[in-house]
Structure 1
């Protein structure tokens, strides 16, 4: 058994740290916003940049895989060991929209290093957490004296995660043979806090889209016609108001069917976390906790499904008044799903629910942004999870606890198609501002993530030799 010496990892990181940060900043300057068609060339440029960076790291294979939307990057580096496990690292290189006028302190695509932080769109979500694996791998090789990783290492970095991964399922089905592995490491999650390292054991799924409502063929006079014909704005408001009952449960019949309830052990792990609701609210820039009755805040964001209205648009929004019945209205919505829920069924339930509640004279269309993202859970007793916890504990020098993630990603697609367990490795913290202004990553945590990756590959190889991992 060849271990990764602790005292050999840090010198290797120090040797490459400056170049690593310089390269990361160069990548962050590429505005790879997948939701904006005008940035499609930038998404392609980001993929090509990453493929070249992986080749420089030493990967003998690094390819750009096209999709009908943003391209993905695939890379692999065989171990050379006959019985080594195969590990696939997943992340994404596309980012959320960002502009200085949104409230950023500086240009979101010009990285700023200040006070131990790196600020830029994508610094935490997800370019920083993808790129840490390049330096972690260099340190792993240098510290162990290997010329190849202790595992057969593969990377898949997609270009449409921030747009709901509409083509990701088709991509992994198309390349399932190239992606075959024994486990997946998702590096698109976070930790509890800077002083509380944690491993995420689950992500919620996502179904989102919009409802378009159409009434009169054009805006009409509210005095001449108001109160006598359907008003799309009013019907949109009625739909939104009916989405939750008085206990703030989603009021769609069948929505909760199959929802996996928390086990006693999971509740114990939640209780071990130093949760400060007032501090959490400050991070959320909110003034009160509110949600489904009978559940704690952590349960609501990790283990309960939700329905949110992301936007309502209709009629006149300019200065002063304009007395009309608007011709149309639009509702943007998102559902977060938990283990036991099926994305296709939720889409159908919502479509039927909308149709049942609209009066005659209001035409409508329900559109979804792709097939949706399924929820995913990691078994707490999985051997590969033990390896990840050990590697992270060595990097942070303290006990690692367990969380879940309220956000969503395509981890379940990887689990379903490849038939392997999914693990989560993330070093971001809530204050990093994912999807918000002044997104940043704490450099101390970023380099602890690097150290985790430096230890992880040998830990996984050793665990595999002792106990081959069960399938998902």
Structure 2
């Protein structure tokens, strides 16, 4: 039996197991569901043990548990591949606009419905099926590469304890390649590989002037107005070409290569349809000289998320407010560092805040960006595996969101490759999440091919 035949023959069992797992409401953001997150980890460890992993354990963290499973190859020189995903899910309640109970999963018309079906339980589980298919096709008792699955339980809450777990367990993990299955493809008929995710850092800016609100008739025009000054500072974050004006902001940005720009341009992107999905926005906007996809995937940004201060109630109140506030955030691309961007923001605010006002910048938690070069051996092997599974050319994308991938690569010192079959259309993080079962099966098939592709290249390719 070849790989595809095995995957198809075991599709029903796979779908049933996934629905059993989806019924566990592992919402990490809800303290009332933390017991369910633990149940989810225990379920996965037990399932991976039943499917053949010699080691399948629940790993404790300072917060919610992760799952560790390991299946060694027969040969000591075989590459070690770590598969990353997460078993926690976004909050979901019927009252949020769901057409069905989010934790009562069901299969209808070839689709599996339920919170976590695509993000990320379905994409975690296809790896277990892929390992079994690889072994069934080869007749071996161990995979051609050593496989570790590390599935965290706090990704949807910002992975607050994941870096600590990686650091504590680094000597035991030590992968040669990291495979991430927590992203999306371009479309069901346009398979693609993500080659990078943007980082993120946020901050709150406060300008303080007088010790209390002042009468604008008595003091207007005589003392600096914090709201006026803040509006000017925020407007000055971009120049006329949409470029961020913070000092040194672009110094560490790795630009897109000509090959990467060409591959992004080959994606079937329709601007009008994209604008409709962007809240019926009236026009595209951003840094001059770049396409919309390049801007949202491969260029850094500065956004104003909220502004407040002074009088906002009904009717007039003619005052000079004592304070003005704003929340801003920055999406980062390789190789920008969140701390460096905050330092740059503070320098900008200090330079342009008028005399008589005191500026305070409070930074939030930063997430570093990550990047996988399209010509890296790990990405090339993943592309070959996906092309075998889907029977067509696989293109490249990036993602604008942020996750723990940079911590994985940085702490464990291994390159990243993204193998995922989710779609934005799966309604991840939204009501009525679902996934097409046939796509998950192609994911399992691609994973099964990937182990052989990585093993075959181990003797010549420096991971």
Q: In the alignment, which residue of structure 2 is the partner of 1:435?
A: 429
- Asked if structure 2 preserves the Cα contact closer than 8 Å seen for 1:215 and 1:363, the reply is no
- Asked if structure 2 preserves the Cα contact closer than 8 Å seen for 1:387 and 1:460, the reply is yes
Distance 1:48 1:254, change over 3 A: same
Distance 1:33 1:323 in 2: 44
Secondary structure at the counterpart of residue 196 of structure 1: coil
Secondary structure at the counterpart of residue 389 of structure 2: helix
Distance 1:53 1:322 in 2: 64
Q: In the alignment, which residue of structure 1 is the partner of 2:248?
A: 254
Distance 2:46 2:312 in 1: 47
Query: Is 2:57 aligned against 1:63?
Result: yes
Distance 1:412 1:190 in 2: 17
Distance 1:239 1:130, change over 3 A: farther
Distance 1:245 1:195, change over 3 A: same
1:183 CA displacement: 0.6
- Unaligned 5+ segments in structure 1 are 1-6
Cα displacement string for residues 170-208 of structure 1 (whole angstroms, at most 9, x for unaligned residues): 221111111101111011111111111111222222223
- Asked if structure 2 preserves the Cα contact closer than 8 Å seen for 1:215 and 1:231, the reply is yes
Q: 1:304 aligns with which of 285, 295, 299?
A: 299
- 1:156-235 matches, cutoff 5 A: 156-208=150-202, 210-211=204-205
Query: Is 2:108 aligned against 1:103?
Result: no
- Asked if structure 2 preserves the Cα contact closer than 8 Å seen for 1:307 and 1:334, the reply is yes
1:293 CA displacement: 2.1
Secondary structure at the counterpart of residue 458 of structure 1: helix
- Asked if structure 2 preserves the Cα contact closer than 8 Å seen for 1:141 and 1:147, the reply is yes
Distance 2:38 2:302 in 1: 33
Q: 1:416 aligns with which of 410, 413, 416?
A: 410
Distance 2:430 2:14 in 1: 25
Distance 1:449 1:217, change over 3 A: farther
- Unaligned 5+ segments in structure 2 are none
Secondary structure at the counterpart of residue 202 of structure 1: strand
Greater CA drift, 92-101 or 409-418? 92-101
Distance 1:111 1:221, change over 3 A: farther
1:115 CA displacement: 3.7
Q: 1:342 aligns with which of 331, 337, 345?
A: 337
- Asked if structure 1 preserves the Cα contact closer than 8 Å seen for 2:421 and 2:439, the reply is yes
1:314 CA displacement: 6.6
- Asked if structure 1 preserves the Cα contact closer than 8 Å seen for 2:207 and 2:357, the reply is no
Secondary structure at the counterpart of residue 91 of structure 1: strand
Q: 2:107 aligns with which of 107, 113, 121?
A: 113
Q: 1:368 aligns with which of 364, 368, 379?
A: 364
Cα displacement string for residues 70-123 of structure 1 (whole angstroms, at most 9, x for unaligned residues): 322221111122321110011122223333333333333333433433333322
Cα displacement string for residues 190-240 of structure 1 (whole angstroms, at most 9, x for unaligned residues): 11111111112222222235557788999x898999969998877766654
Q: In the alignment, which residue of structure 2 is the partner of 1:270?
A: 264
Query: Is 2:458 aligned against 1:470?
Result: no
CA-atom RMSD in angstroms: 3.2
Distance 1:178 1:402 in 2: 32
- Asked if structure 1 preserves the Cα contact closer than 8 Å seen for 2:385 and 2:450, the reply is yes
Distance 1:112 1:279, change over 3 A: farther
Count of aligned residue pairs for this structure pair: 459
Distance 1:315 1:73, change over 3 A: farther
Secondary structure at the counterpart of residue 153 of structure 1: strand
- 1:375-394 matches, cutoff 5 A: 375-394=369-388
- 1:345-356 matches, cutoff 5 A: 345-354=340-349
1:317 CA displacement: 8.3
